[in-house]
Amino acid sequence: MGNNKPLVSIALCTFNGEKYIAEQLVSILNQDYSNLEIVIIDDKSNDNTVNILKSFSDKNQNIKLVLNETNIGFNNNFRKALDLCSAEYIAIADQDDVWVENKITRLMENIGDNLLIYHDSAYINNLGEPTNKSTLSHHRFVKGNCAKNLLYYNCVSGHTCLIKKELLTLTAGFPTHFYYDWWLAYTAACRSKITFIIDKLVLHRKHEESSTGKDKTDAKTTRIAHLKLFYNHQETPNNLKNFIQLLLDGYKELDRNHFSSKLFKTLLLNFNSLFYVRKRSLFSICNLILRESKSK
């Protein structure tokens, strides 16, 4: 497979990733899809990451290395990397994973006319040992017209994504306090242009130092903020916007009352879609609906 295949850009952002970045870069360079451009942006690392990156870029002409003069943060750095990618197709990489050698090939074979395709990932620990779990162990995947499924929970991780650059034109930027991959997935879902394959194409390292490992947020105030972002998204269709407003009205009722019957009814009637993505028991879902419907 050579340059007769479409160019694929890989957006890789780094920050203090000296522990695992070399292993990740080797797995990317060993992809069986050879027509690759690798765009790496380091967000002002203060460990040995930059030296490792320079050693790889010096030996590989398809690596474009950019070093930020100041730390601009996770979301802004990924947006910068994505915008610097020159190919129509862009894959996203985390600094501490390991890619299966046919990852790009499988995604390119299956993206079709979608704006975004994603896949399952096998989890490994900080030592690189398998945990015998994957994303599908605790999430259900969605595709097509599935924006409603993504209002409360996300099943699309950036490191699993291949997108068409066209998707970036549908959103001016990434919200500051929101995951960029969730935002991209929701945007594609609003156009019914999202799909998945169940291949495990990445060994995804789960550890406390990762950005997702640090996140423990599941607060009601955060969910309300997310709903407002979705409501104001330029791609949200009117029927979904009306539904989001119904949810927000229910939460607003909690400013006046201890219990919101409006929110309780809305969540109960729509639990199959709103809570489909996160695998949990019916008992757990009922408890969640009750907690959401109470002011405290």
pLDDT digits (tens, 9 = 90+) for 100-149: 999 999 999 999 999 999 999 999 999 999 999 999 999 999 999 999 99
Residues 49-72 have pLDDT tens digits of: 999 999 999 999 999 999 999 999
Partners of 144 in the β-ladder: none
User: Which residue has 């969730």 as its token pair?
Assistant: 182
135 and 60 within one domain: yes
Q: Is residue 194 part of a domain?
A: yes
Residue 72 CB: number of other CB atoms within 10 A? 15
Q: Write the pLDDT tens digit of every residue in 8-65.
A: 999 999 999 999 999 999 999 999 998 999 999 999 999 999 999 999 999 999 999 9
- Provide the CATH number for the domain around residue 102: 3.90.550.10
184 with 251, same domain: the answer is: no
Rounded Cα distance between 59 and 38, Å, is 13
Of 64, 87, 71, 86, the C-alpha closest to 12 is 64
> Are 28 and 95 in a shared domain?
yes
Phi, then psi, of 66 in degrees rounded to 5 = -125, 130
Read off the tokens for 148.
């409603």
Domain range for residue 145?
A: 8-214
Same domain, 21 and 168: yes
pTM for this model (two decimals): 0.94
In the chain, how many domains are there? 2
- Taking the C-alpha atoms of residue 292 and residue 242, their distance in angstroms, rounded to an integer, is 19
Based on the fold, state whether residues 163 and 199 are members of the same structural domain.
yes
Taking only the tens place, the pLDDT of each residue in 203-259 is 999 876 655 545 544 589 999 999 999 999 999 999 999 999 999 999 999 999 999
Tokens 């050698």 -> residue:
101
**pLDDT value at 81 more than 90:** yes
Residues 201 and 253 occupy one common structural domain: no
- Closest CA relative to residue 291, chosen from 217, 221, 214, 212: 221
Which among 101, 113, 98, 185 has a CA at the least distance from the CA of 148? Answer: 185
